[in-house]
Amino acid sequence: MIGQTLLMANDRDAQWKQSKDASLVVPTTDADFERYFDLRWRVLRAPWAQPRGSERDDREQESIHLMFRAANGDALAAGRLHFNTPFEAQVRFMAVDPRAQNCGLGSRLLEALEGRARDAGAKRIVLNARESAQRFYEQRGYCVEGPAERLFGGVDHWRMSKEI
């Protein structure tokens, strides 16, 4: 038991070090985008048996993409921003590798996306949060507006917004 606890602590230390050493980047190369979309699929779609390709939509080309990349090139966190109107931006496809969760990458990524939205003139950000992520967004100033689309036959989402 002690050995297992130490192993878990060492794994957490390694994850924390990896997340601290991560760089925030705009994916530009084919390899970057492959890792970026793979992370989105693994975290947001694969657990619900959704096919590859379901982690993308028709707004990818017009969107701002950001990811935290580890020194070895692995995508640790990914998120996307697009504009619904000149003053309203929407965050979509936020994903953090489970091995790097609870290390602050999601918060840092959301702050970076909010900064990009603000710099481009947005006054408000909206998003659809899974029930499991609702508290994360509330702790960062987002308010629930009401229910949003239910995905994959049972994953409840909430429409949330924040004035920026």
Q: Output the pLDDT for position 111.
A: 98
User: CA 161 → CA 24, 36, 138, 148, distances in Å?
Assistant: 24, 25, 9, 12
pLDDT tens digits for 81-135? 999 999 999 999 999 999 999 999 999 999 999 999 999 999 999 999 988 899 9
Rounded to 5 degrees, φ, ψ at 116 are -65, -40
pLDDT tens digits for 29-77? 999 999 999 999 999 999 989 999 999 999 999 999 999 999 999 999 9
Tell me which DSSP letter residue 72 carries. T
Counting other chains too, the contacts that 7-15 makes at CB distance below 8 Å and 24 or more residues apart are 11/99, 15/99, 15/100, 15/103
23-32, 100-109, 142-151: range with lowest mean pLDDT? 142-151
Residues sharing a CB contact under 8 Å with residue 92, sequence separation 6 or more, in sequence order: 57, 59, 63, 79, 80, 81, 82, 127, 128
Counting other chains too, the contacts that 11-14 makes at CB distance below 8 Å and 24 or more residues apart are 11/99
Structural domains in the chain?
22-163 (3.40.630.30)
Q: Determine the Cα–Cα distance for residues 50 and 133; give it in Å rounded to an integer.
A: 19
Q: Determine the Cα–Cα distance for residues 94 and 111; give it in Å rounded to an integer.
A: 12
Entry pTM:
0.85
